[in-house]
Amino acid sequence: MPNHRVTRLRELIAKSEGDALLVTHPINRRYLTGFTGSSGVVLITANHAALVTDFRYKEQAPKEAQGFQIVEHGSSLYATVSDLLKQWNVGELLIEEQDVTYANYRIIEKALSPVKLITSDGIVEKLRMLKDEDELAIMQEAADLADRAFEHILGYIKPGVTEKSIALELEVFMRSQGATSSSFDTIVASGERSALPHGVASDRVIGRDEFVKLDYGAYYNGYCSDITRTVVVGKPSDKHREIYEIVKEAQQFALDHLVPGMTGKEGDALTRDIITRYGYGEYFGHGTGHGLGMEIHESPRLSLTGDVVLAPGMTVTVEPGIYLPGFGGVRIEDDIVITENGIRILTKSPKHLIVLD
């Protein structure tokens, strides 16, 4: 994979105080190299790009990390890294401060001395915010898989089944369709539990005349999808209908008005202002959405504090909700990509109030 990601990264390194970047974050390692192994670090300088890993990956690493120098380390990874940095005359090394624990920092500092360690300020995560066409194609497939799972699960949800059995059915279906795993712990929250924004599936048995909120996603080919739909089993009350329609209106308004150039905070206001206008602002206690990609939660955020300016290629969720304690809650969530003029929606499952009887 030679490698516009490395080229873009080098531009950012050139603008930084550092001579080189040490990549320790496993997802960033895979993003830059294509290497799917579970151990190793990446070193990038203006002229060198190396994957330092161990003998277990002797065959796999050169196949996957094309364009990278593959360096096998012995008993000490950082002794090998130190040798490379000396060869390459690196004086100041950017490290991934979000990933390196304090204990590892001390190990790295000692092993690489006298190289000075400085913060990379999330340099690779900044690149990862902007998805390329290859990534968007995979994310569309991950979203399609979640959509097929929704269609499948509608036939399974009924009074008498437990939340956990619904979650299991969703996960088995997604695995059977090519997912590596679910992209996070599947949320199935029914009845009063649907008022829990993150109610992971429990032993609760689905009753009648109540919400069932499903929030799940497929981890597929290294990328995540993330979808929420809320349905009613039995007969919806006026209250069910009222809050469902408000959330739907807020979500649709955001989908219709999100554009590049907006901040995450402005994006958040698109849903929040509507929910607040209907008097339910205090029951919408989380942000409107989050970036997603190789990880389920990435930058940028659509939230009250979201200061990143949305740009074409960013992928985010749009997921307003209303949660009424003691009654239940609704959330509707889609995955979208910011385009030149607006957005494209990746998840396409229906959003009218589905009533299962």
Q: Could you list the residues that contact Zn ion (CB under 5 A)? A: 215, 226, 228, 317, 333
How far apart (Å, rounded) are the C-alpha atoms in residues 220 and 283?
33
As measured in angstroms, the least distance from the Cβ of 184 to Zn ion is: 7
- How distant, in Å, are the alpha carbons of 53, 204, 208 from that of 75? 11, 50, 61
As measured in angstroms, the least distance from the Cβ of 216 to Zn ion is: 7
According to DSSP, the residues that pair with 338 across neighbouring strands are: 343
Nearer to Zn ion by C-beta: 28 or 317? 317
Nearer to Zn ion by C-beta: 56 or 297? 297
Please list the helix, strand and coil fractions of the chain in percent, rounded to the nearest 5, in that order: 40, 25, 40
Nearer to Zn ion by C-beta: 19 or 333? 333
| 300 cis-preceded (ω within 30 degrees of 0) | yes
As measured in angstroms, the least distance from the Cβ of 17 to Zn ion is: 35
Closest by CA position to 294, among listed 222, 347, 216: 222
As measured in angstroms, the least distance from the Cβ of 302 to Zn ion is: 10
Nearer to Zn ion by C-beta: 120 or 186? 186
Q: Are 267 and 305 in contact (CB under 8 A)?
A: no
According to DSSP, the residues that pair with 22 across neighbouring strands are: 43, 95
How far apart (Å, rounded) are the C-alpha atoms in residues 183 and 347?
15
Nearer to Zn ion by C-beta: 182 or 228? 228
CA 82, 87, 92, 97 torsion-angle sign: negative
As measured in angstroms, the least distance from the Cβ of 200 to Zn ion is: 12
Nearer to Zn ion by C-beta: 19 or 295? 295
As measured in angstroms, the least distance from the Cβ of 229 to Zn ion is: 10
Report the amino acid identity of residue 308. V
CA 11, 12, 14, 19 torsion-angle sign: negative
Burial class (CB in 10 A: 0-12, 13-18, 19+), 260: middle
As measured in angstroms, the least distance from the Cβ of 139 to Zn ion is: 14
As measured in angstroms, the least distance from the Cβ of 290 to Zn ion is: 6
Nearer to Zn ion by C-beta: 163 or 226? 226
**Structure tokens given for 119:** 């913060």
Looking up tokens 């929704």, which residue turns up? 150
As measured in angstroms, the least distance from the Cβ of 177 to Zn ion is: 19
Looking up tokens 């990435």, which residue turns up? 298
Nearer to Zn ion by C-beta: 28 or 288? 288
Nearer to Zn ion by C-beta: 5 or 272? 272
As measured in angstroms, the least distance from the Cβ of 347 to Zn ion is: 10
Nearer to Zn ion by C-beta: 226 or 298? 226
Q: Write down the H helix ranges in the chain.
A: 4-15, 26-33, 60-64, 77-87, 102-112, 123-129, 133-154, 163-176, 238-257, 264-277
Q: Are 202 and 193 in contact (CB under 8 A)?
A: yes
